[in-house]
Amino acid sequence: MTRVSSPLRSSRGMPTRVAAFLDAVIQHGLFSNARNLRFWMESFFGQVPLEGRRILDIGGGIGLLSIYAVCRGARAAVCLEPESDGVQTSNSGSRFAALCDSLGIREAEFAPLTLQDYLRSRPDSFDVVCSCNSINHLNEQACISIRKDPVARDSYIQIFRDISAMMTQGGDLIVTDCSPRNLYPHLGISNPFAPTIEWHKHQTPETWASLLGEAGFADSRITWLTFNGLGLPGRALLGNRPASYMLRSHFRLQMRRLASAGGSPCASCS
């Protein structure tokens, strides 16, 4: 008897829309290779459910996370990527549109706005909020002095309260960024793995979890990210704080929105 493949799965054992997404991103020259891209997407979202949910991607660039989420069954996704002086120097919007068109996706939207502008224009409700290497840009000057300046700290808590207010109860927040605790800046030399990072403009995942806890989030989970090309073996060997300290100090923080603002101390910060 001839076995008929499911129309919802590709020959590579993944949903056909995900397989099409991987192929399209590579064809558009937006990522190095499909294997690394798939590993990064799966590392970012982890076990967070996407099917039937609404996604907000803050500082999402060309929108890979947003479009991937839709391909994984998200009901809708909004990618926020602000313009600079009215000009998208990276052509993020047009590249986003081209990728969506090639995949026949209509559930994803690109908004050339800052988070603050978006909140003023249309405060939608979301089940998952993503901040991929963008949390320090929400208020860069305040980010620099969070640990020393109560005003800067309060400004970020208010930003996080605004995010919480537009999320559904029990919604998931995913943040990735680099911790300033890294071997190379401590030695006063450039990090060969991340030479462009301005380390003084970043904060530890524990600092972010503490602030988010005051803004209505809980259940913090911190993991340390590794190079996509190393795959699962790299995660097993290098996905820990000491190894990350000698590499990029790249972390992933996941938290859950509580029923009401106010929050509670995070488990990772005690």
pLDDT per residue as tens digits for the range 149-160: 999 999 999 999
Q: All domains of the chain, ordered by start, with CATH?
A: 16-263 (3.40.50.150)
Q: What is the pLDDT of residue 259?
A: 77
Non-local CB neighbours of 6 within 8 Å, separated by 6+ positions: none
Dihedral angle of Cα 241, 33, 233, 185, to the nearest 10 degrees:
-20
- Tokens 């071997």 correspond to 183
pTM for this model (two decimals):
0.89
Instruction: Give me the sign of the Cα torsion angle 93, 94, 98, 99.
Output: negative
* Whole-number Å distance between alpha carbons of 211 and 203: 11
* Whole-number Å distance between alpha carbons of 118 and 159: 12
Classify each residue of 251-269 as buried b or exposed e, where b means 16 or more C-beta atoms within 10 Å of its C-beta. Answer: bbbbbbbbeeeebeebebb
pLDDT per residue as tens digits for the range 208-256: 999 999 999 999 999 999 999 999 999 999 999 999 999 999 999 999 9
pLDDT per residue as tens digits for the range 2-51: 222 333 455 455 679 999 999 999 999 999 999 999 999 999 999 999 99
pLDDT cut 90: percent of the chain above it: 84
Q: How far, in Å, are 10, 116, 146, 250, 261 from residue 153 at the CA level? A: 48, 17, 5, 22, 17
* Whole-number Å distance between alpha carbons of 241 and 239: 7
CB-side exposure of 230: number of CA atoms within 13 Å? 10
Dihedral angle of Cα 224, 229, 232, 237, to the nearest 10 degrees:
-60
